[in-house]
Amino acid sequence: MVNKTRERLLDVARQLFARKGVDNTTINDIAAASDNGRRTVYTYFKSKTDIFNALVRQEANLIIDRLKAVAHTQLPPEEKLTQFIFVRFEAVKEVVGRNGTLKAAFFNDIKRVEKVRRANHVRETDILEQILTEGVARGSFAIKHVRPTANVLLLSLEGLDIQYIRNSFADLGIEQPVLRAYIKDFILHGISCRPSPHIPTD
């Protein structure tokens, strides 16, 4: 019963936030729309910000679950990495599209975007590092510094989130199958014909 009530409050808050925005939604709105009193809301959440953060964590967990599923497949490391990239793009797009406030934030409020990203960055990096480590062990990837590479790659993907959500690539005549091929080729094969120089560890 406790979990059902909490989930009901979160579902109602999500709908209100999407329709009215976080700033224009009150605790009274959430209580009334969920057929509860303010006291019930405050039993589970300290504030409206607490509710918003709970929703962010909930959505972040959904993304992580999908990425973990990719990491646990029996695909070759190269294909697993490609799947990670595009499953992540699609998962972020779905989360943003499902939550109107997050969609507005992605385009207008960089601070809120960063809050959402921070909730997942370390966990996403852990999964990506796992995939890259597997690739190195199998001789598929030549990476000297796996964790830093995972961090840089994830930051690069985050930089493409808005373009992917807006479908800017299609506007440039690059449809998803072609985009997938371009990104896979760039990440797996790079652009240089020469071996990479030694990267210092300090």
Q: Which domains does the chain have, with CATH numbers?
A: 1-45 (1.10.10.60), 48-189 (1.10.357.10)
How do residues 3-38 score in pLDDT, each as one tens digit?
A: 889 999 999 998 888 888 888 899 999 999 999 989
Could you read off the pLDDT tens digit of each residue along the chain, which spans 202 residues?
458 899 999 999 988 888 888 888 999 999 999 999 899 999 999 999 899 888 888 888 889 999 999 999 999 999 999 999 999 999 988 887 776 655 555 545 556 666 667 778 999 999 999 999 999 999 999 999 999 999 999 999 988 888 888 888 888 888 888 888 888 888 888 876 765 555 454 4
**Cβ–Cβ under 8 Å, residues 78 and 188:** yes
The vertex-62 CA angle with 60 and 65, nearest 5°, equals: 110
Return the closest-CA partner of residue 106 out of 61, 165, 51, 156.
165
Residue type present at position 149: T
HEC readout, the chain: CHHHHHHHHHHHHHHHHHHHCCCCCCHHHHHHHCCCCHHHHHHHCCCHHHHHHHHHHHHHHHHHHHHHHHHCCCCCHHHHHHHHHHHHHHHHHHHHHHCHHHHHHHHHCHHHHHHHHHHHHHHHHHHHHHHHHHHHHCCCCCCCCHHHHHHHHHHHHHHHHHHHHHCHHHHCCCCHHHHHHHHHHHHHHCCCCCCCCCCCCC
How do residues 64-77 score in pLDDT, each as one tens digit?
A: 999 999 999 999 99
